[in-house]
Amino acid sequence: MKQQIIPAIRLTVALMVLCVIIYPLLLSGFARCTPEKGKGEKVADRNGKSYYAHIGQRFDSVIYFNSRPSAVAYNAAGSGGSNKGPDNPDYLKEVQQRVTDFKQKNPGAIIPADIVTASGSGLDPDISVAAANAQVPRIAAVRKLSQQAVQELVHRHTSRPLLGPQKINVLKLNIDLDQLTH
């Protein structure tokens, strides 16, 4: 028994040092090499209020591009999904209500899935290019802008990651939209 306990204790201590001390320090060191020094990117609106760019914000007014829905009401302290499956009646009713609301605000638009379904974290700051394009006519009309001007703004905010689909940060897009119209 003694032959098994001592190696188990050594392994436990080694893994604790690796996982609790070395790994977090290594990640912290990498984070300090980023442009934001590991503190997160902040952006300010025209009133000087600052927001973290990589945490989803609520935008549901008709004058803004709408955000992806959040199962946690955009609360960064409580990140998480709804944990309801795709055939759950409550979930289906919730998504159907989002579809109805989106259709009402954006008549005739094709509805991308990401604009009516929440992400796994509930804090996704991005929407798809299709979700932004579906909202361009509404934004142009309510802000009395040409669709081309709004479309150009969407194009400027489209990020093209090395892997994965193109995406648009809704917060940055809406901040620039406010500056375009004021």
Structural domain count, the chain: 2
Residue 99 pLDDT grade (very low, low, confident, very high; cuts 50, 70, 90): very high
Residues 33 and 71 in one domain: no
Q: Are residues 149 and 171 in the same domain?
A: yes
Q: How confident is the model at residue 57 (pLDDT cuts 50, 70, 90)?
A: confident
Q: How confident is the model at residue 182 (pLDDT cuts 50, 70, 90)?
A: low
Token couple for 97: 């209500």
Whether residue 59 sits in one domain with residue 11: no
Assess whether 118 and 34 both reside in one domain: no
Pick the range with the lowest mean pLDDT from 13-17, 33-37, 49-53, 104-108.
33-37
Q: Are 43 and 175 in contact (CB under 8 A)?
A: yes
- What is the predicted pLDDT for the residue at 102? 94
Do 63 and 30 share a domain, yes or no?
A: no
Residue 25 shares a structural domain with residue 47: no
DSSP string for 73-110: TT-GGG-------TT-HHHHHHHHHHHHHHHHHSTT--
pLDDT in tens, 129-177: 999 999 999 999 999 999 999 999 999 999 988 888 999 999 999 999 9
Backbone angles phi, psi at 32, to 5 degrees: -70, -15
pTM for this model (two decimals): 0.79
Average pLDDT of the chain, as a whole number: 89
pLDDT at residue 96, as a whole number: 95
Domain enclosing residue 172, as ranges? 42-181
